[in-house]
Chains A and B, each alone.
Chain A
Amino acid sequence: MTEQKMKNILILGANSGMARALARELASPQVQLILAGRKVAELEKSAKDLEIRGHGPAPKVVSFNALETGQHEQFLPEVLSRVETLDEVYLFFGQLHGQAEAQKDFSLAWEMLMTNYVGAVSILERVAAYMEKRGQGIIIGVSSVAGDRGRQSNYLYGSSKAGLTVYLQGLRNRLARSGVHVLTVKPGFVDTPMTRNKKKGLLFTQPKAIAQGMLKAVRARKNSVYLPGFWKYIMLIIRSVPESVFKKLKM
């Protein structure tokens, strides 16, 4: 019997609801989690929670801000000073502002584009270089169905995610030969916590269901996955509407 090797998994944007749900699914004695995000005090609490739930090693906490791209060069060496290797990296961070507000105030649009696209590319380029050199690893990027087609109701956010989707596609192509796998995850419109009260349990179960779907896709070495799965068909229809018709729709 071979002893199961410890896996080191980095979660970027570990304070988001979806990331929290995923970390709970991952937490186990064979997994060393590294939680990265802006609010370190919150991450410390989550780390304790994951240690208690997973009966595993205490997750490590690192400060990370997607917008401070100048700091990204030092980020990976800092993580690697605390764990020997990095086997999987999940990218969850993302900024979502209302379309109407972002149209009025460009700083909101700027923040979305910088966080969701530039910030993501900045850190993943470093991760990719590390994994490519090592010849193994998995990168999981959380994009969105909003990036599949531009719509008047959310195109500022959507275009930042469209950029991320194409970036992950290219990265997958680049890293395929070096044995590094890239998975693109496109969650459907995540229900706001308010809808939970209308249809009980919806939001509460959803992050957990998405986390489980994500892990399944990782194990199956999927390239791209919609979560929940039915979004694949919704987006198939939305993408297939001719632009001459689509531009007149109120979506």
Chain B
Amino acid sequence: MTDNITGQPVLPPEIEITGWGRYPASPTRVFPVQSTAEPGQILKARQGKSLLGRGAGRAYGDAALNRSNFCLDFMPYNRFLDFDEQTGILRAEAGVTLEQILETFVPQGWFLPVTPGTKYPTLGGSVACDVHGKSSHSLSHYVERLHMLLADGSYVACSAKELPDLFWATVGGMGLTGLILEVELKMTRIETCLIRYQGVKAHNLQEIFRLFEETEEWPMTVAWVDCLARGKNLGRSIMMRGAFARQHELKSLAQQSRARSVPHKGKLTVPFAFPAWSLNKLSVTAFNTFYYGKHPRCLDTIMDYDSFFYPLDSILQWNLIYGGPGLVQYQFLIPLEQGFEGVKTLLEEISATGRASFLAVLKKFGNIQNPGMISFPAPGYFLALDFPVGGGEILKHMDQWDKLVLKYGGRIYLAKDARMKRESFNAMYPRLDEWRAVKQKYDPENVFSSDLAQRLGLVNKAGG
């Protein structure tokens, strides 16, 4: 928003904002970005304040917060700029949401190459977090080019070929190298948008790991884990694997009629924050037992992509069920070789604390190459668990879990993190120094910062 007469940005009021977990909160001035010139104008008139691009605010913790400084809200900056039907390359402004991309391109037979478990994030935010989801690569694998505004006011394009250092520091770089203005993304051709789905029960951790080994030919896999199950049931889970259905696999006319249509379902909205006690060990155990119990041994079916990729999106504001103080997600990765031992040890540790986690999701990444310097996805097993913040004791447990993750050579996903200690972080990301050098090169004065960057020492010249 700029004043039409002076051309100066109008200073918005300082307001409390949070990420998706609603923890922590930070007072920030938020500038909506609607036109191409605005980011440059705000950069010029920042008056010593640091800047941060913010998308839909779907990162859980403090990645999109910038305490007492400025955020640029890219949600209104959301136009499609070009689509090449030959190559499938879409060029769009950073604030376009994944949902908008699907609504426009699914009817034409295209899908996102990678999608996280929600369709509400923006494209720019997804690149900054290098999201992964159920696919076998992270998003950066399909990013052709980024158009950015840098700290010195210059506009540059970067890719794996042009300014590769900037590119690989920016994908997964949490918005700290510059403002991502536009993204060129290679979309995936699909014959139908329906999913051939198989859900297979596993009684324990051995079984689910074996299923992951056998499941290599499925392009999209994830397992739902009951992390309150203990002893011989530890790791009780359901493997969910899917592939886009081919035309000939659709049996009924009803299915065929939906082969290119965007599903529009009724949505529930959680109206207010639940009381903190409503999610306790008893209620989650009951839910998990019910969910697991009602699932058949092996389910083979065709389902719409919304139900497969975005089961939680049908409940708007589901983050409110975690109560007033909010929620934190603990998502870690253990490298392949140590995968079973690491996941087992952590699951034992977590279930021993008796903490209720509704959602525990396990996923395997095979032998992928990810040149992103501080991007999370790497070959290994990931486990993600949500916990209510409650009185905050859970955060102390997490510090203990971090030590185990480190012991197995693992790491924590920054897009979900709200609490990790700097020392743990420094030990988790082996290419951090390389990233710091790029940050120093393109943003020596730390024009771009965030609460996460402050907490983890990503904007400290001395190197944390």
Contacts and interface: CB of A to CB of B under 8 A. Distances in A.
Interface of A: 15, 17, 39, 41-42, 45-46, 48-49, 52-53, 95, 107-108, 111, 192-194, 196-198, 200-201, 204
23 contacts: A15-B34, A17-B34, A39-B35, A42-B35, A45-B81, A46-B79, A48-B79, A48-B81, A52-B104, A53-B80, A192-B12, A193-B32, A193-B76, A194-B13, A194-B30, A196-B73, A197-B15, A197-B16, A197-B30, A198-B15, A200-B57, A200-B317, A204-B75
B218 interface: no
A52 B110 CA distance: 13
Contacts of B17: 197
Given A17-B34, A197-B17, A197-B57, A49 B5 contact: no
Nearest to A105: B5
B165 to A, nearest CB: 29
Given A39-B35, A48-B81, A194-B30, A53 B104 contact: yes
Contacts of A42: 35-36
Interface string B288-317: 000000000000000000000000000011
Contacts of B80: 48-49, 52-53
A107 B81 contact: no
Contacts of B104: 52-53
Nearest to A21: B76
Contact of B79 (A39, A45, A200): A45
In the A-B complex, the 10 residue pairs with the closest CB atoms = A193-B32, A49-B79, A52-B80, A197-B17, A49-B80, A42-B35, A53-B104, A194-B12, A45-B79, A52-B83
Interface of B: 1, 4-5, 12-13, 15-17, 30, 32, 34-36, 57, 73, 75-76, 79-83, 104, 316-317
A197 B17 CA distance: 6
A111 B35 contact: no
B73 A193 contact: yes
Contacts of B30: 193-194, 197
Given A17-B76, A52-B80, A194 B35 contact: no
Contacts of A204: 75
Most chain A CB neighbours (cut-off 10 Å) among B12, B32, B82, B317: B32
A108 B79 CA distance: 31
Contacts of A53: 80, 104
Nearest to A41: B36
Nearest to B96: A49
Given A49-B81, A52-B80, A107-B5, 5 more contacts: A17-B76, A42-B36, A52-B82, A193-B76, A194-B13
A201 B120 CA distance: 11
A42 to B, nearest CB: 5
Contacts of B83: 52
A54 to B, nearest CB: 9
B416 to A, nearest CB: 18
A197 B316 CA distance: 15
Nearest to B33: A193
Contacts of B5: 107-108, 111
Given A108-B5, A204-B75, A15 B35 contact: yes
Contacts of B13: 194
Nearest to A98: B10
A48 B79 CA distance: 8
Nearest to A115: B4
A100 B244 CA distance: 58
Contacts of B16: 197-198
A18 B190 CA distance: 34
A32 to B, nearest CB: 19
